[in-house]
Amino acid sequence: MERTRLCRLTLGKRRPPQHTVSTVLTRAYLSLGSNLGDRVAHLREAIRKLSDLGAVTNCSSFYQTEPVEFTNQPEFLNCAVELVTTLNPHQILDAILKIELAMGRDRSTQPRKGPRTIDIDLLLAGDSVLESPELVLPHPAMQHRRFVLEPLAEIASDAIHPALHRTVRELVDRLDKGQAVTKLPRSC
């Protein structure tokens, strides 16, 4: 009888909620560029700020690159970064937009392809393939841009584009020889 009563008391009580912490890690690859002011300092500051989102586990050399599409502007410095984080792709995007804004770039008021202190693009996030109004993954133009692929190939040549099913190295090898991209001795 006592056992029955204890069971009824236990069943009638609410258990405290159990919280789970996400430990799912995303390996994301980002492209960074700057063509205004102290470009090296801007890239380094952005990389430092990205480390607040997780672990920056790899960073390419810096590359001097010609602007594309809107060509009447200063040349860029570009690099690629590997970030391991618990954030999902939309959270990563939100965070990099805040970093850009804090560094003086407001995408809502500045020309889309114009000069900028910093540009951070999310290229790949694990094997995610997404299409939403805010975010398309993999980055929809990465396979056409030498200034993105050369730095990325330096740190992740075997990474697979999850929609095209090709490695980054294969994507680089398929590019036409158009844009000038020069690897510099400086790095992050």
- Whether the bond between 138 and the residue before it is cis, its omega within 30 degrees of 0, is yes
Is 166 a residue of the active site? no
Is 116 a residue of the active site? yes
E-assigned strand segments in 2-88: 26-34, 55-59, 61-65, 76-85
**Residues contacting 52, CB < 8 A, separation 6+:** none
- Where is 186: in which H helix or E strand? strand 181-187
| Given 121, 127, 166, 169, the catalytic residue | 121
Distance CA 40, CA 61 (A): 11
| Given 39, 105, 145, 146, the catalytic residue | 105
Q: How far is CA 18 from CA 15, 21, 32, 72, in A?
A: 9, 10, 39, 57
| Given 39, 116, 145, 146, the catalytic residue | 116
| Given 44, 119, 145, 146, the catalytic residue | 119
Is 169 a residue of the active site? no
Is 127 a residue of the active site? no
Residue positions annotated with a catalytic role:
105, 116, 119, 121
